Every structure is written in structure tokens, then in C-alpha cells.
Structure 1
Amino acid sequence: MGATTAEIDTTGLRAALGARSIVLVGLMGAGKTSIGRRLAQRLGLPFIDADQEIEKAHVMSIPEIFEKHGEAYFRAGEVRVVARILKDGPQVLATGGGAFMNPETRANIRALGISLWLKADLDVLMRRVRRRSDRPLLKQADPEAVLRRLMEERYPVYAEADLAIVSREASHEEIVDEAVNVLVDHLLAPKELNQP
């Protein structure tokens, strides 16, 4: 029995990816970790969560790092950790919400990866982030106002990502299918020949 289209796509996709990583970017609650794990499994690639790697390196949680050392310290460490992880591709890498805002990190991702923005509406993000209490940037009187401000600041920068899909209330499998499809289109679709 022959290979399925999905198997052909993922095999070709892994080959076209080479040593590059698929780097998921987006706000907290966009689904970078949950979609990233499933996408990595689908493609037969390792999954790495940058936030977990930062916590391992510091032997403390991200809220503890923020509280003890502040956001600037955390961001500097994040740049170093993401740069180190990118050298180990191919893999699926979920970055923290603020990682892609750093120009050095964006340049590293451009050089060593394919960035995929999981874009979500405010109401979707709010429903998801309310389920967890470990978001340092949302420990405010009005977390919705904070998220709205972060969207205004970050969405124009996230829009620089190579690819984007909408993260919404759909099954994880549906979102992963869309991610695979945009990756296949980006990496495997025949390029138009611009011959004179």
C-alpha cells in the first residue's frame, strides 16, 4: 500500500526544512505549546518550549524570574536561549509571547527557521489565559486591557513572520492541519519562474 498524501507532505516538508526550525510566535494563549507539540508529533520532529528551557537554565519558574530579576533580565536570557535552541534544528520551537519582539531574535529566527504566527482574537485569548494564573504580565487589575495593549504593540511585529494561521476555537487537529498546509505551500509549492 502506498504512502498517504499526508505522509508524502510531511516527508517532503522535513526534507525541505533541512536544518531549520519551525518557530511558533504569538501572544500568550495563542496555543503555541499545545499546537507546537502536536505539529512536532505530526512531522516527526522534536518539540522544544523556550519558556521551559529558560526555567531549566535558571532553576526557577518564569514568574519567579520576573519577580526576582525583572523583565529586562528575563528578556536578555530569552534572547540567548532562543539563539542556542535554533542551532539544534530541525525542530518545532514554541517561543514566549515577547521573544519575537526582540530584533536579534527575529534575525536569528529568519536565519535558522521558518516563523509561524498563531494569530488569535482578544476574546479567544482571554478565555484561554483565564485558565492559568502563571502569566506575570497579566497580574494586573485589568488583564484584558493588558492583552489589548500587547496586541496593539505586538501584532504589527508578529505580522513580519513568514507565515500565519488563525488560532481559534477549533480542534487541535484542524489547526495542525492548517499549519502543515501553509508550511507545505511555503516550502514545497513550485516557485513561479521569472524568466525574461
Structure 2
Amino acid sequence: MKTIQKLIFTVSIATLLFSCDDNDDLVPTTPLEVTMVEDLAAPNDEIDRNTGEVVVVRPFQYFSLERNELVTETEDWDLAFKGTTIRVNSSKNVEAAIVNGIFEEISEVPANATFSTDSDNTFAIPTGSGSGWYNYNSATFTVTPIPGRVILVKSTDGNYLKLEILSYYKGNPPAAEIDPRITPSGYYTFRYVLQANGTSKF
């Protein structure tokens, strides 16, 4: 009788242990936080509309996605903004790729994503209407983000991020309310998700 009770007790313990292991797999992971950056001021050079000459040279604005703040050029920045141009920190091996998809639905870095860094002649995030993250409407003289265009970044720390630019104008106004004559441009509003554990899943 004692032997049977001992066997039942042992089986019960084993069952409990296996149940705990199974439950560990069912524990939901904490969703990654979406970081929102609003009105990052990075206006382009001021150009004389009559002559086409640059009359005021403005600097790039250096941003650390890891720290979520503006930094100096000598610090570990990931992206630099100026006008519609976005640079990556090639000296720190920062890379970027442009992909098409719904921001919320991109759960990992696609296998076919082509990452690159800046060179003397090219940008990892292409410039020009329709080439990178924006379209330029020559009829309304406005810049608008391309819907479904997401920027993937490999940061200075080697972590992956997905980033979506939402607006190029101060206050993130609706497209219909943008007046290029009076609405300040070069003010980025964007959101991003950082995967800090080194994996390619979001």
C-alpha cells in the first residue's frame, strides 16, 4: 500500500512539473512599446526662389533612436534629418531598408529586406519623390509620406527598429489643411518600435 501511494505521489509531482513547463510557453510576451516623436525640427537650407542660391545653410539634426533624443554629431546617432533627406550613421555601421507593409502588421524583419548604409553617392534611405519615404506633389508643392512605406533600421547598438514617418509639417496637420506658403515644413512626426534584445522580431 505504501509503495502504491509513493508511486502516485511521484507521478503527481511529475505531472505538475510538466504542467508548469507547458504553462511557461503559454505566458504572453509583453508587447513592444511604440515610441512617438513629434515635430522634430529639421528644416532644409533656405533657398532664394529667384536665383536658386542657398542663402541660409541649416545643419542636420542628429537623432538617437536607442535613446529617443537629439544628440550631437560626435555622439552615437542613428539617423540625421535635414529637409527631406535622412542620413544613416555609416561610421557606426547603421543600416536601413525600405519595405512595403502595414506598420502594425510587420512582426519581424522580412527575409528579403535589403539593408544598406550611406555612401559618397547614395543614401540608404533614398531621396526624391516616390523613391524613399515621401511623394512630392508639384501641383500643391507639398510633401507627404507614402502610405504603407516603412523604414527598417539596424541601430548603432545592432538592434532592429521599424519606423514610419507620419508627417513632414509642424503640428502633423491633415493633408488638406497644409498650405506650403504658411505651414512650416521640415518638422518630422514619426513612430518607431525598437527591439532591444538583438532579435529581428517586433
TM-score, normalised by the number of residues in structure 2: 0.26
Larger relative helix fraction: 1
TM-score, normalised by the number of residues in structure 1: 0.27
Higher relative contact order (Cα pairs below 8 Å, separated by 6+ residues): 1
Larger relative strand fraction: 2
